[in-house]
């Protein structure tokens, strides 16, 4: 088992059992306790678990997801893979919504040159990313801007999205859980996201595999109210099955280039 595979399996254990011991993990994966400790230190640096004496637990708080700068570089490969799959779903003349968050920003960066439609966004970083595209009609919601993230919310942003009907929306997420559904950390942004969902034909939740099974502080909606959850291929099969059992459609983005088909 590769270190990355082992660490993903460790995360699955933490999400299932709440707390795990380093010694038990070492026995399960047939490696030394020191190897497991290195894995736990790496996962803690990424904010995916909390180390405690003898092992690790789930992250302590549901009320904060960390800074935008830190999240921008965390799991960047999976986020770009998710963004590439999301962008491949878009038709050239559509009206789309790009929500706030680091993965949503990657969707803005991944929009293909053939796209000539309209982009509605409540993300200042996404708007800045697309501001040089003269072939795109770009509309920024405005509203109260959250420091650090450049996320717009409040009555102004909510009213803005209430005036449009979009073809597709790409939604940020704090956590995606079979029972709790789509959750997030910022109540004012949750209100805006609900308006987006009710005014869009197809809504896709962007969630790298580290967010699957997590519950943030505020519920947005059940998973059967969105079109699909787009995640990466590091998602554990049990987690994927649990989400599908709750009514979600899961789209898996490959994080490695796929081999070309053999001529035959």
Same domain, 164 and 237: yes
Count of structural domains, the chain: 2
pLDDT given at position 91: 97
pLDDT in tens, 19-46: 789 999 999 999 999 999 999 988 877 6
pLDDT given at position 215: 83
Out of 57-61, 83-87, 103-107, least confident range: 57-61
Task: Tell me if 62 is assigned to some domain.
Answer: no
Query: Residue for token digits 């003269």?
Result: 134
Same domain, 43 and 98: no
pLDDT band at 263 (very low <50, low <70, confident <90, very high): very low
Beta strands in the chain (DSSP E): 19-21, 50-52, 55-57, 95-98, 118-121, 137-140, 144-146, 151-153, 166-171, 175-177, 181-184, 200-206, 218-221, 228-232, 250-253
pLDDT band at 142 (very low <50, low <70, confident <90, very high): very high
SS3 string, 85-153, reads HHHHCCCCCCEEEECCCHHHHHHHHHCCCCCCCEEEECEHHHHHHHCCCCCCEEEECCCEEECCCCEEE
Angle separating helix axes 155-162 and 187-198, nearest 10 degrees: 10
Same domain, 129 and 207: yes
Distance (Å, whole) CA 254 – CA 244: 19
Q: Which residue has the higher pLDDT, 71 or 105?
A: 105
Q: pTM for this structure? A: 0.73
Task: Tell me if 111 is assigned to some domain.
Answer: yes
Task: Tell me if 148 is assigned to some domain.
Answer: yes
Distance (Å, whole) CA 183 – CA 86: 20
Same domain, 150 and 109: yes
- Residue 139 is encoded by which pair of tokens? 């509309």
Domain of 83 in residue numbering reads as 68-253
Out of 55-59, 60-64, 75-79, 240-244, least confident range: 60-64
Same domain, 26 and 151: no
Task: Tell me if 222 is assigned to some domain.
Answer: yes
Distance (Å, whole) CA 53 – CA 229: 35
């Amino acid at each position: 088992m590769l270190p990355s595979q082992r660490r993903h399996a460790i995360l699955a254990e933490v999400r299932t059992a709440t707390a795990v011991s380093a010694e038990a993990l070492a026995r399960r994966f047939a490696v030394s306790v020191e190897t497991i400790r290195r894995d736990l230190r790496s996962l803690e640096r990424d904010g995916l678990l909390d180390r405690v004496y003898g092992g690790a637990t789930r992250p302590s708080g549901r009320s904060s997801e960390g800074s935008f700068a830190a999240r921008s570089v965390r799991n960047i490969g999976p986020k770009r893979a998710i963004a590439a799959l999301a962008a491949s779903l878009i038709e050239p003349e559509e009206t789309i919504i790009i929500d706030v968050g680091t993965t949503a920003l990657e969707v803005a960066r991944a929009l293909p040159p053939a796209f000539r439609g309209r982009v509605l966004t409540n993300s200042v970083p996404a708007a800045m990313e697309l501001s040089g595209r003269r072939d795109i009609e770009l509309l920024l919601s405005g509203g109260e801007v959250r420091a650090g993230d450049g996320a717009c919310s409040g009555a102004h942003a909510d009213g803005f999205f209430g005036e449009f009907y979009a073809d597709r929306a790409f939604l940020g997420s704090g956590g995606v859980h079979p029972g709790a559904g789509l959750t997030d950390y910022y109540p004012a942004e949750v209100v805006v996201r609900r308006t987006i969902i009710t005014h869009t034909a197809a809504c896709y939740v962007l969630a790298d595999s580290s967010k699957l099974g997590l519950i943030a502080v505020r519920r947005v909606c059940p998973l059967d109210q969105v079109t699909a959850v787009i995640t990466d291929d590091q998602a554990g099969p049990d987690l994927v099955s649990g989400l599908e059992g709750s009514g979600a459609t899961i789209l898996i983005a490959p994080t490695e280039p796929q081999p070309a088909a053999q001529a035959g």
